[in-house]
Amino acid sequence: MAAGTDDMRQERERPQRMGDLATLPVFFDLSGKRVIMAGGSDAAAWKAELLAAAGAAVRLHAEEDGLSDEMRSVLEAAFERGSIVHVARGWAEADFEGAALAVADCETEAEAESFAAAAHRAGVPVNVIDKPAYCQFRFGTIVNRSPVVVGISTDGAAPILGQAIRRRIETLLPLSLTGWARLATRLRSNVMDSLMPGPQRRSFWERFSDSAFTRKAPDDAAEAEARGWVEDLARSPSAGGRVTLVGAGPGEAELLTLKAVRALQAADVILFDDLVSDDILELARREAKRMLVGKRASRDSCRQEDINRMMIQFAKAGKHVVRLKSGDVSIFGRAGEEIAELRQEGIPVRIVPGITAASALAAGFGVSLTHRDCAQQVRFVTAHSRKGGLPEDLDWHALADDNATTIFYMGGRMAPRISERLIAEGLPAETPVAVAANLSRDDETRGVGTLAGLGALVERVGVDRPILIGVGRVFSECEANVTEGYEPVGMSRLPARVA
């Protein structure tokens, strides 16, 4: 292993302690348990329906003339497990005895105080609707994929925000999840009996969860396949070992794909590049081992052979390894070598693509890389050969095409030579160029200029930073991004053209 690699391949620690919680989220089994309710309003109707849907035997205390139309409708509904019985009178102290919960909709503070006090004396947790001072628990907002249930609380501060969060979560949880959760219930005893606690069981459930989020509702064949996974793991604990190559995108955590987030949250080990941001690593499973295996120019780096060896070693130990690369896995990421090594060792490997830096560059400058008035093709080119210099086997004459957009990756130190070669092959010196460093990050820096001034422009952006260079007429409209009110972070304002 190269000198300094031990320092580079360090584990990036994360705090393991739980942060402060405004409230403790708990899930209460109400099946067959009695709940006392007071009030016949619409708000009380929603709570009564929710409790009955959870299997509770609700006794609703309210005068007949105090029932809203919504409450009357709920009283007529049939529930699979729970029930609602109307008691046509107000509540009494004795009604609290043996109750699991107490819920009321009270018009006045005095009524609320009296109901809460009676619940306290009986030792029954109480909620008075819309009166947090008398509440020992809150209902929150619910995403229902039962038996998967997600509860969301804003501690009463912003119910509308809670609803917005619920809508966001609902888009992430397919309706088919209900079927997979029910299948999990049927499989649970088999898993518990056949697989050892810890990595074996978790390996099964991670694979099961992957199917739940990526496949249609389970049928008999899916159940048979899942039972086969149990048998495979029982015979060979290392059977669950696998590697997922994940594209982390240009840097901003919100640009990750949902599939990438799920892979991070299912990982046992994460081998990550130097350019992967802390915000992205924060999305990973808390218990995952994180190891920096970055390769950067002009300093000691972890060799590719060592990275391959680590992936194979961990996977053969039954671990789910995530190889986390900046940008897209399949673009200048050495993924081909890693895939070949893993397949040679018989280790399952899959790819989760990410947003490549070229797409982030286009988004940052607000352009289309293939604007039909400027470019009929786009090329991604590495600006480094294996020897560290400018690749000499490139067809520079073909790259000097005025009707194309060319994106040079890792081109900081090669910028002057890129400019010289393209101009020598006939590309006009005034061809627009765009340069960006640390795309999509807080310290992102951008600038535009001409091909003739590319070297000076890159010098100002920062040669030693992760640099991306765009060359082509599609960048001719980027002046406004720099000169009209936009000042790149970390540098003085650039002129529209650097000659």
Single out the catalytic residue among 95, 105, 273, 401.
Answer: 273
Contact 99, 36 (CB under 8 A): yes
d(CA 397, CA 301): 34
Calculate Rg over the CA atoms of the chain: 30
| CA-based nearest residue to 23, from 138, 142, 158 | 138
Distance CA 218, CA 185 (A): 13
Select which of 210, 274, 295, 300 is catalytic.
295
Q: Hey, what are 487's tokens?
A: 């000042």
295 is catalytic: yes
CA atoms of 359 and 335, how far apart (whole Å) = 19
CA–CA gap between residue 75 and residue 48 (Å, rounded) = 9
- 43: which 2 tokens? 């708000």
CB 118 within 8 A of CB 61: no
Helix (H) or strand (E) holding 448: strand 445-450
Through-space distance between the first and last CA atoms of the chain, rounded to whole angstroms: 45
User: Within 10 A of 372 (CB to CB), how many other CB atoms are there?
Assistant: 7
Under 8 Å between Cβ of 439 and 414:
no
Q: How many residues does the chain have?
A: 499
Residues known to be catalytic: 273, 295
